[in-house]
Amino acid sequence: MSSSFANLPDSDLIRRSLSRSPSSPRTLFNSFMNGVAFLCGVLSLLPLLAVLSYVLIRGIDALSWSVFTELPPPPLVEGGGFRNAIFGTLLMVGIGALITVPFGVLAAIYLVEFSSGQLCRWVRFATSVLSGIPSIIIGVFTYGLLVYKGVVGYSPIAGGVALAVLMLPIIVRTTDEALQLVPDELRQASVGLGATNFQTVTKVVLPAALPAIITGITLSIARAAGETAPLIFTALFSQFPFNGLFQPIASLAVLVFNFAIVPYPNQQSLAWGASLILVLMVLITSIIARWVTSRKWAPRKIEQVAREIRLYFERLRIGLF
């Protein structure tokens, strides 16, 4: 065999050994599987493109300046809008984020930085189970806890609490995973320079994991903004302007649910317009999440962060802070 290769020039030998025959079974199978993978990728995009295109086609005609400034109209009355529903959605999502973001981030910090053993595993298991509970069950739970007992009644407060329960497992899990991705070298460098656990977490770990934490928060907000079932049980609906934190309030998701099943064309048109606004809200939050985690927001190198840690504690030692 060596004598047969010895007659060939070195360049021809290399070329023949590295070239791939287009008719070989391995090449044909590889091309076939590449085509199958490409086709599956295109098919996975079809549902998203179909939803976006259909909602855009049906909802764009319903959008005008009046839908952002007027209230929902009665049946068979032209005009009107969903100003109160937009405000109600933003208010309840804001209440939910205000409740769940501190709890979720602090819980994840405890799991990664201070907890160990069975408690840590049980908390992670509980958040995984909570993320899989249907949203209507969360709505019934909040209804029985706050509305049925007469604590707050149908209100933005009850709706915000229901959305907070839905957002909590997303924030805990994403923050937990983000903190685990922070290299241990950063923690060791901080402790080696004399930092306490609190200083290490606040000055080193959290800044390094901040882009991923913000991504988890925006994704949880996007999910909460489109929920309908929890708000039916907790916030109900209102065709009137905002009347206080302890009164029923409108939301975009419930407006779409109510107006999409009625036989009145004017309210059906508003339902399509509200659907388009909801889709745009989710799309914008997803774009923000991608932008935050883009390359220019990526975590800095370990050496750069270590230099900043050293500079901070040098300033702290000489009394500049």
Q: What is the CATH number of the domain that holds 110?
A: 1.10.3720.10
Residue 311 lies in a domain: yes
Closest CA to 223 of 178, 177, 170: 170
**What range defines the domain where residue 259 resides?**
82-318
pLDDT category of residue 162 using cuts at 50, 70 and 90:
very high
Count of Cβ atoms closer than 10 Å to residue 10 Cβ: 8
Residue 104 lies in a domain: yes
Q: Cα–Cα distance between 146 and 161 in angstroms, integer?
A: 9
Residue 43 lies in a domain: no
Residue 142 has pLDDT above 90, yes or no: yes
pLDDT of residue 10: 53
Q: Are 200 and 190 in contact (CB under 8 A)?
A: yes
Residue 62 lies in a domain: no
pLDDT of residue 89: 92
Q: What is the mean predicted confidence (pLDDT) over 66-75? A: 86
pLDDT of residue 7: 53
Residue 155 lies in a domain: yes
User: Does 169 or 198 have the greater pLDDT score?
Assistant: 169
Number of domains, the chain:
1
Query: Among all chains, which residue has been given the structure tokens 């209440």?
Result: 95
Q: Are 195 and 309 in contact (CB under 8 A)?
A: yes
Of 116-125, 145-154, 223-232, the least confident:
116-125
Tell me the pLDDT of the chain averaged across its residues. Answer: 82
Q: What is the mean predicted confidence (pLDDT) over 256-281? A: 89
